[in-house]
Amino acid sequence: MRIWHYPERSPRLELLDAEDLPVESLHSNLRELAVINRWLGGYRISELALEAIKPYFNFHTFIDIGCGGGDTLQRLLPKIQEEVQVEGWDLKADCLNFAQQHFAHPRIHWQLGDFRAAVRQRPAGVLFHASLFFHHFKDEEILAFLLEITAAGHALVINDLERHRFARNSIALITQLWPGASHLVRHDAPLSVERAFIRRDWELLLAEVPNIHFTINYRWAFRHQICIWPIKNAHEG
């Protein structure tokens, strides 16, 4: 860890995680997150991760967990082969309503439920995608999910934030200067960085997961792109 990293992940919860969040506030935040992803290259990181894992993992189903407003899944769709089933999972019905209103597509199946339920009774060969998602969870919850999916023969690509002081202060300033930005994004954007990860966090987590390959790459701006796939796969006989 370096001095420009926060030493620990913040335990404070984001407003977005509240169960009683008003629909108008949630939908406004989903639109703001889409703008941030466009400004700061968030979509491109997920596209790069998808292309990076394709040579190593054959998948019949692609599942975007914590799909939110559906904008990232819509951007990834052209990169996913036609025969692959595509699903977007979210715990909030209001997120899926927004996604269906703005990003409906005949190939995308929207599913309401906890992301951990998406693993159950699936044949090996699912590629999970998580963008700006895992920083909402505790390390032990992330590890449990990684152990479950890799043991079942699935893979995962992750696009998430780096816990960097400059990143936190920069996004705090951007959202403060952003005309009309909501209280939600001004509160949650810097906090999400404080709740995020440094490379060593991912290395320690992945060291606990047996029989996997993984890559961790730093991407602009202040993000990690991570690809995780089981050692046993069709490409390896």
pLDDT tens for residues 42-61?
999 999 999 999 999 999 99
Cα–Cα distance measured from residue 179 to residue 117, given in angstroms and rounded to the nearest whole number: 39
CATH tag, 26-232: 3.40.50.150
Sign of the four-CA dihedral 71, 182, 194, 19: negative
CB 69 within 8 A of CB 94: no
CB 233 within 8 A of CB 212: no
pLDDT value at residue 1: 61
pLDDT value at residue 236: 47
**Domain residue spans of the chain:** 26-232
Q: Does the structure show a pLDDT above 70 at 235? A: no
Average pLDDT for 222-232: 95
List all residues 6 or more positions away from 81 whose beta carbon is below 8 Å from its beta carbon: none
pTM of the model: 0.95
Q: Does the structure show a pLDDT above 90 at 175? A: yes
- Position with higher pLDDT, 120 vs 205: 205
